[in-house]
Amino acid sequence: MSQTTAAPRSFQAIILALQSYWASKGCAILQPYDMEVGAGTFHPATTLRSLGSRPWTAAYVQPSRRPTDGRYGENPNRLQHYYQYQVLIKPSPPDLQDLYLGSLEAIGIDMDLHDIRFVEDDWESPTLGAWGLGWEVWCDGMEVSQFTYFQQVGGHDCHPVSGELTYGLERLAMYVLGVDHVMDMPFNDPDAPIPLTYADVFKQTEEEYARWNFDTANTDVLLRQFEEAEAHCKAILDQPATDPKTGKRIIMAHPAYDQCIKASHMFNLLDARGVISVTERQAYIGRVRALAKMCADAFVDTRAGGRTEDAA
């Protein structure tokens, strides 16, 4: 463990420390997925790659959007757009807890002074048809990460089991940096020629998106886009496995999954607009879950999903 790292002084220093720590532990450092998602779990590097028998190890930052959490940038802790740091290792290594604790040291949390606890928290994603058991990790009473052993994703049992770590980056960084309001947090080094705070980067967008999410997003358009994405996803998966042009077996699990992600985000936006009733809610979640399951079914039938090539 690198004890030499100077204590981080900015949001990005914490992200960089996590990146280099997990790189040093052998993870492939991926980039964020280029679509709107509600959490790092939606990145296909987690959802799809946790399926099937092939080993996998990846870490990445994922910008995440939760339209209902928007507070116009005024709440010290709540944002409609925030960052998660996500680690997925399959099969989960026996020392995953120790690896995780090492990452906290890497961002400057002194294990000799703090009280770290693993407190039961079972994870379930109704939209992904996924669940797992694990903990929320507490540092001095504050939740700093989610730690989950995936048991099922997209309705499929996970064999082997992936270990998933999710860090809420803003909250963790605020804690490490001793900042009380997210907008006051230094984004780059405070001594940089042009120092920027989190507010400099995101205050305006939080306002803009809060207004759009809550009041002006066109619900007819959103609803249509939800339905189009749903239909599109199914249509992609209805294609024959063999590509008529190349003659190769190409199941388009990822393009279909993109449409599933899109439908999920449209649902979140509709929810924020307050046009989905309690009873309808369950129905929408069920529709997204059906898509996620179809994509999972498709993925496990591909090479990356663990399918051993036909003799033919």
Partner 1 sequence: MPDLLIELFSEEIPAQMQRRAAEDLQKLVTDGLVTAGLTYAHAVSFSTPRRLTLALEGMLAASPAVVEDRKGPKADAPEKAIEGFLRGAGVTRDQLETRETPKGDVLFARIEKPGRPAAEIIAEVLEQTIRNFPWPKSMRWGDGALKWVRPLHSIIALITTEEGAEVVPMTVDGITAGRATQGHRFMAPGQITVSGFEDYEAKLKRAYVVLNPADRAETIWHDGTNLAFAQGLEVVEDQGLLAEVSGLVEWPVTLMGPIADDFLGLPPEVLQTSMREHQKFFSVKNPKTNRIEKFITVANRETADEGATILAGNEKVLSARLADAKFFWENDLRVAKADMNQWVQDLENVTFHSKLGTQAELIERMAVLARELAPLVGADPDEAEEAARLAKADLSSEMVYEFPELQGLMGSYYAKAAGKSDAVANAAKEHYAPLGPSDDVPTAPVSVAVALAEKIDKLTGFWAIDEKPTGSKDPYALRRAALGVIRILVENDLGLALDRFIDSQLVRNKGMAVPELDNGPIEEFVREIAEHGVFGAAFRTVMDRHEAGTTATAIRNIGEQVPDKSKNLLSFLHDRLKVYLRDQGVRHDIIDACIAMEGNDDLTLLVKRARALSETLNTDDGENLIQGFKRANNILSQAEEADGVEYSYGADVRFAETDEERALFHALDAAEAKITPAMARQDFTTAMSAMAALRAPIDAFFDAVQVNADNGTVRRNRLNLLSRIRSICTSVADLTKVEG
If binding is defined by CB under 8 A, does position 159 make contact with partner 1? yes
Contacts 24+ apart (CB under 8 A), 28-34: 28/57, 28/58, 28/59, 29/58, 29/59, 29/60, 30/58, 30/59, 30/60, 31/60, 31/61, 32/60, 32/61, 32/62, 32/63, 33/62, 33/261
Distance CA 2, CA 281 (A): 47
Q: Which stretch binds partner 1 (CB under 8 A): 2-10, 130-138, 196-204, 232-240?
A: 130-138
The position carrying tokens 């309705």 is 155
Among 16, 116, 250, 304, binds partner 1 (CB under 8 A): 116
Q: How far is the CB of 229 from partner 1 (least distance, A)?
A: 28
Nearer to partner 1, 141 or 244 (CB): 141
Give CA angle at 276 (274, 277), nearest 5°.
105
Cβ-Cβ contacts under 8 Å for 267 (sequence gap 6 or more): 127, 226, 276, 284, 285, 288
Q: How many CB atoms lie within 10 A of CB 276?
A: 19
Residue 129 as a binder of partner 1 (CB under 8 A): the answer is no
Q: Which of 54, 122, 195, 243 binds partner 1 (CB under 8 A)?
A: 122
Interface region with partner 1, contact rule CB under 8 A, candidates 11-19, 156-164, 182-190, 198-206: 156-164
* The only residue of 32, 93, 155, 306 in contact with partner 1, by rule CB under 8 A: 93
Distance in Å, CB of 63 to partner 1, minimum: 23
Stretch that binds partner 1, among 12-20, 114-122, 245-253, 292-300 (CB under 8 A): 114-122
Q: Applying CB under 8 A, which residues contact partner 1?
A: 76-77, 91-94, 97, 111-120, 122, 132-135, 139-142, 149, 151, 158-161, 163, 175, 180, 277-279
